[in-house]
Structure 1
Amino acid sequence: MGIIFIGSQQIGHDCLKEVVNLGIRVDAVFTFKPDPHEIWEKNVDIIAKENHIPIYLPNELTVERIRKMNPDMILVVGYRKIFPKEILSVPKYGVIGLHASLLPHLRGHAPLNWAIINGDAETGITMFKMNDGIDTGDIIGQRHTKIETNMTIADLKEIIQRLAVELVSEFVPRIISGKAVMSKQPLEGTYGCPRIPDDSKINWNDKTIKIYNLIRGCEKTYAAFTIFNNRKLYIRKAELVSDEKKYFGTPGQVGMINRDGSVLVITGDGVLKILKVSLGDENEVDAKMILNSTKMRL
């Protein structure tokens, strides 16, 4: 009984480690390198090298190679490259994927980012049997988690990584023993589109909660930003203001500078407390170190 693992990033690393710990033979690992704007703390090649598993790159993921390897199952975790659809029919137990949403909601790209940006109260991760659609295959198992109002994308990813390992531990042995129960997805669902760094630009005319969710939902490597003195000012950390005071000003205006180093910026319907910022590639600092005048407009 052998499988092929296709994946990347921390989530792929942790899931591959669990597969190895389960005593399941892994015949090959296919992975890729991070994009220029990404930073991965770990990747699947670490586990592959530790366990002497052959490593291949995306251009080597061909139907002919997979047929020659003849795996019983292929497990896909954290892999966003396109691979030939003909591969789906090669393994005895199919190609099994993990997707970081509660399918059929948020099929496609950046599901965790979109969940926070959209203000969803809940998300999770789904294990499913891949077909020729976009995350439309039969569901094998799911894990749910709440999205707390102070949770960032980094916080949420840590939770999802743990839940992914739980799914692998519970369901991979069932799949390769032929005991997994699968359920059809509804045809209709929602879809997340790809995100690029420019999508993180803040519109201060938006409602406070929308801006706050954007800041929480953006990756550290392409953080939410505003333009200040013709440069990108990244908003690294923010908080909702709990008091009931009303502030009148122009959206984007620095409305108040606080003793704790934070500043209040006027939004479309109130204010948002900005705690930490960084200008361009400079180090993160208290917001008032840069936004130090109420005459400033963003």
Structure 2
Amino acid sequence: MRILFMGTPDIAAASLAAILEAGHEVCGVFTRQDKPVGRKQVLTAPPVKVLAESKGIPVYQPRTLRDEAVQSDIRALAPELIVVVAYGRILPPEVLEVPPLGCINLHVSLLPKYRGAAPVQWSVINGDTETGVSIMFLDEGLDTGDILNVAPVTIGPEETSGELFERITDQGAKTLVETIAAIGRGEVTRTPQDHSKATLAPPLTKEMARFDFTRPAKEL
């Protein structure tokens, strides 16, 4: 299948690697711009860009997807499917309508629970015993599209969000590739989300990192 991939961090790079290993044609990669990293503020490329360039895949790093020239580039790439993993931007309608098979997204929670930027962290903060990954069709909302596939992941009693993220990264890549194959066979079922059960996982703040020793040990 001819796929346009959009993603930025390590979890997205793992999914891109799995898509390539499965034999799909990745016609281009969209990722966020290089950023200064570390105390010396060294300009560093996102993991997805590093992988794409090592595979000879064209890389695009636009500031916005709402620019007509950018949308023209996407149409010119002629993807059958757009795959999004932690890209960090909402796709406008003009992009959503480009691929004939639609646009799908990997989200690291069991939607509609924990829509937003930090679902893994909030699942640990809230003491959940289970989370998972959801593959959904993208629409104009924030993680509101129809579900195509889910895979649950248990959370250990002492597991950190970092440890959990590593396991979810592997499960997400596997589930994503399975779903793409099912789309190619025309064997997916769209399940609308129950929006009345939706919860949010907003970005974490520095203030949240402070230890308050009046709180229970389990929360700390």
Please report the TM-score for the alignment, with normalisation by the length of structure 1: 0.66
Paired residue type of 1:86: E
**Counterpart residue number, 1:47:** 51
Change (3 A) 1:116 1:108: same
1:181 to 177, 189, 195: 189
The alignment's C-alpha RMSD in Å is: 2.0
- Bigger Cα Rg: 1
Deviation at 1:41, TM superposition (A): 11
Shift of 1:36: 5.1
Establish whether residue 119 from structure 1 lines up as the match of residue 127 from structure 2.
yes
The match for 1:12 is 12
Q: Distance in 2 between matches of 1:156 and 1:34?
A: 26
Please tell me the residue identity of whatever aligns with 1:49: E
Distance verdict in 2 for CA 1:53–1:81, change over 3 Å: same
SS in 2 for 1:203: coil
C-alpha distance in 2 between matches for 1:35 and 1:135:
29
Correspondences of 1:280-295 after superposition (within 5 Å): none
Q: Which amino acid aligns with 1:81?
A: R
Alignment partners' CA distance in 1, 2:145 and 2:91: 16
Which secondary structure does the structure 1 equivalent of 2:88 belong to?
coil
Kept in 1, the 8 Å contact 2:90–2:142? The answer is no
Partner residue in 2 for 1:27: 27
Q: Does the CA-based 8 Å contact 1:13-1:43 persist in structure 2?
A: yes
Candidates 137, 153, 165, aligned match of 2:161: 153
Separation of aligned partners in 2, 1:67 and 1:145: 36
1:215-234 matched pairs, under 5 angstroms: none
Amino acid corresponding to residue 137 of structure 1 in structure 2 = G
Q: 1:21, CA displacement in angstroms?
A: 1.2
Partner of 2:73: 65
Mean Cα deviation higher: 108-117 or 9-18: 9-18
Distance 1:35 1:148, change over 3 A: farther
More helix by share: 2
Deviation of 1:35 after TM superposition, in Å, equals 7.5
Counterpart-to-counterpart distance in 2, 1:178 and 1:36? 43
Aligned mates of 2:142, 2:162 — CA distance in 1 = 25
1:144, distance to aligned residue in structure 2 (A): 0.8
Distance 2:23 2:162 in 1: 30
Can you list the C-alpha shifts for 1:188-217, whole angstroms capped at 9, x where unaligned?
Answer: 211111212222112222222222xxxxxx
Q: Aligned-pair distance for 1:96? A: 0.4
2:41 match: none
Q: 1:196 to 1:58 in 2, by over 3 A?
A: farther
User: What stretches of structure 1 of length at least 5 have no aligned partner?
Assistant: 212-298
